[in-house]
Amino acid sequence: MTQTFEEISPADFFYRNRDIAGFTNPSRAVFASIRELVENSLDAAEIAGTPPDIYVRLTFEEDDQESGIYKLRVEDNGSGIVSRHIPSAFGQVLFGSKYKLKQSRGTFGLGGTMAVLYGQITTHKPARIVSSTGSTKVYIYRVMIDIQRNKPIILERRVLLNKEQWHGTIVEFSLEGDYFRAMPKILEYLKQTALVNPYANITFIDPKGRLFKFSRVTEKMPPPPKETLPHPYGVDVEMVKRLVRVTPHQKMMDFLSAHFHRVSERIAEKFLEFSGIPKTRNPKKLDPQEIVRFVQMLKRFEEFRPPSAACLSPLGKDLLTAGILKELKPELTIVCQRKPSTYAGHPFIVETAIAYGGEIPKGGDFVLYRFANRIPLLYDEASDVAFRVIKSMNWRRYKVSPNMPIAVLVHTCSTKIPYKTVGKEFIADRPEIKREIQNGLREVARGLQRFLSKREHVEREKRRLSVFSKYLPKIAKFSTELAGRERQPEIEKLLRSVNTSG
Ligand SMILES: Nc1ncnc2c1ncn2[C@@H]1O[C@H](COP(=O)(O)OP(=O)(O)O)[C@@H](O)[C@H]1O
Ligand SMILES: [Mg+2]
């Protein structure tokens, strides 16, 4: 028997394996589409440096509510996309602008395109993209994806004058879905997105015409992340080969300090001495074996400083607190931001928070909110590192008892979040990340413990006082009668003094 071999394109691969990108069934597909487009919009608004205004509308297609075909439209006031990249941005899988070394929500050049691809394979309709970078023109495209070739097919291109200097993007396409099954998750997603992006306005109109509005409480955005160079502990042989190919430098000394993060001339010199590579050696002349050894030596050298966190953009205590107060309305919020740390050469920062009381629901286990690079993670909670850490903690030590109204938040940001799937639902157990989450949670738990102890004390005093105020008048009356007196002693003053001594 002869075997036949063939090659498939990346788009074809994701068409065949859409589960791994989160497009498992009609319900998950509506959720994932909204999520991917909202994330693109948030990223784009951050690039533009404007607080995001995002408008999401899901309608039944042509009033036919039975067919399960919807039209999704997401509009933002972000950076917009340069005209010539619009077709590929939505018509080519693994094409994107976020492969750089800095924190962003998108990572694979996959999400938005995957949504469009799913729409196409379920409705056979093109997607419509309207975008402007704020120039004099607005571009309108109608595109489909040539799945077998992983190339956009442009069906229509129109150019309008941009009189109002609008910048942003509108994406509109049809897809098969099951909104009513997906609804709880979609609303939860939007609420949690509003929590970690308290500077965003998000409006959602659902197929029944109901309006859900999440309004910003601040215009302040976290400082944007800066692009960074690869850290010596995070590179591999392939990356060094690529750097060698593009470098203009002829000496190892200059090569090291130009292309690697945290490598000053002094450190470069020390490293070259340590690894026995001459300072003047031409990097382009390194043979494959030497490159392998070079990478090994990089990992062995202990004097590289840890990566800087400038490429990260955590939320910060004030914004996280504002988001929690706005969406969860608790009585108490305790927030902690850990210092930057690294795993395998990738910098990361963990932020943790505990919210207590107020409108936080009581009962059972407490609610866990997980976030990564300012996106909520809603599925597969039990597989997530944060969940495991919470389960492993001895909460009784912190005076936490079952049925308390408690919500726990964990936000991890990194240039490379170790997701276990491309659907970006849960974070792998990296020991370094686990440790930071543990320390962060312990810190906020101690804060909660102090609050609960103080409250316990106040309650005890209150009870003591209520015992006094209940019996003291009776004792006063009784002893007055017993002593055969007319006038009862003044007990108000006495009660007041008991009260203030507490
Ligand atoms: N709303 C938007 N505003 C600006 N650019 C966008 C928008 N949506 C998508 N893009 C561009 O299209 C690219 C591909 O998007 P996507 O397929 O979601 O992949 P990713 O977000 O992982 O890069 C992005 O990298 C970005 O450059
Ligand atoms: Mg994306």
Q: How far is the CA of 89 from the centre of ligand 1 (A)?
A: 6
- 288 and 378 part of one domain: no
Tokens of 312: 């990260």
- 237 and 181 part of one domain: no
119: pLDDT confidence band, cut at 50, 70 and 90? very high
Best residue among 14, 43, 104 to mutate for probing ligand 1's pocket (most ligand atoms within 8 Å of CB) is 43
Q: Which ligand is nearest to the CA of 131?
A: 1
Q: How far is the CA of 83 from the centre of ligand 1 (A)?
A: 13
- How many angstroms separate the CA atoms of 259 and 249, rounded? 10
So what's the pLDDT on residue 320?
98
Spatial CA neighbour of 308 closest among 101, 8, 501, 456: 101
So what's the pLDDT on residue 108?
82
Exposure pattern of 443-471 as b/e (b: 16+ CB <10 Å)? bbbebbeebbeeeeeeeeeeeeeeebeee
- How many angstroms separate the CA atoms of 254 and 477, rounded? 94
pLDDT in tens, 196-209: 999 999 999 999 99
Q: How far is the CA of 41 from the centre of ligand 2 (A)?
A: 8
- pLDDT exceeds cutoff 60 at 502: no
In the chain, the number of structural domains is 4
- pLDDT exceeds cutoff 80 at 62: no
Q: Does residue 3 fall inside a structural domain?
A: no
pLDDT in tens, 42-51: 999 999 999 9
Segment 460-467 shows an average pLDDT of 86
Pocket of ligand 1 (CB under 6 A): 36, 40-41, 44, 76, 78-81, 89, 96-98, 106-113, 169
- pLDDT exceeds cutoff 70 at 501: no
Supply the residue whose CA is at minimum distance from atom 18 of ligand 1. Answer: 112
| DSSP, res 249 | -
Count of CB atoms within 10 A of residue 307's CB? 26
Q: How far is the CA of 151 from the centre of ligand 1 (A)?
A: 16
- The amino acid that residue 240 corresponds to is V
- pLDDT exceeds cutoff 90 at 109: no
- How many angstroms separate the CA atoms of 113 and 109, rounded? 8
319: containing domain: 311-451
Specify the residue for token string 């400083």: 305
So what's the pLDDT on residue 493?
79
Q: Which ligand is nearest to the CA of 89?
A: 1
SS (H, E, C) 458-475: HHHHHHHHHHHHHHHHHH
Segment 149-161 shows an average pLDDT of 97
Q: Which of 19-28, 441-450, 484-493 comes out lowest in average pLDDT?
A: 484-493
CATH classification of the domain holding 50: 3.30.565.10
pTM: 0.90
Exposure pattern of 196-218 as b/e (b: 16+ CB <10 Å)? bbbbbbbbbbbbeeeeeebebee
- pLDDT exceeds cutoff 70 at 410: yes
Q: Does residue 245 fall inside a structural domain?
A: yes
- Of 214, 244, 268, the position where a domain reaches its end is 214
Going by their DSSP bridges, the two strands 69-76 and 367-372 should be labelled as unpaired
So what's the pLDDT on residue 495?
75
Q: Does residue 346 fall inside a structural domain?
A: yes
Q: pLDDT: is 433 or 492 the higher one?
A: 433
- Of 300, 330, 350, the position where a domain reaches its end is 300
Computed from CA positions of residues 438, 441, 446, 449, in that sequence, does the dihedral angle turn out positive or negative? negative
So what's the pLDDT on residue 499?
66
- 191 and 315 part of one domain: no
Supply the residue whose CA is at minimum distance from atom 24 of ligand 1. Answer: 96
Q: How far is the CA of 325 from the centre of ligand 2 (A)?
A: 28
Segment 309-321 shows an average pLDDT of 95
363: pLDDT confidence band, cut at 50, 70 and 90? confident
Q: Does residue 222 fall inside a structural domain?
A: no
Q: What is the mean pLDDT of the chain?
A: 93
- Of 267, 300, 333, the position where a domain reaches its end is 300
Q: Which ligand is nearest to the CA of 115?
A: 1
Best residue among 35, 37, 38, 40 to mutate for probing ligand 1's pocket (most ligand atoms within 8 Å of CB) is 40
CATH classification of the domain holding 258: 1.10.8.50
Q: Does residue 473 fall inside a structural domain?
A: yes
Q: How far is the CA of 96 from the centre of ligand 2 (A)?
A: 8
Q: Does residue 90 fall inside a structural domain?
A: yes
Cβ contact 143:127 at 8 Å? yes
- pLDDT exceeds cutoff 70 at 33: yes
Tokens of 130: 């309207």
Q: Which ligand is nearest to the CA of 78?
A: 1
- 334 and 475 part of one domain: no
Segment 272-283 shows an average pLDDT of 96
- 415 and 278 part of one domain: no
Segment 148-158 shows an average pLDDT of 97
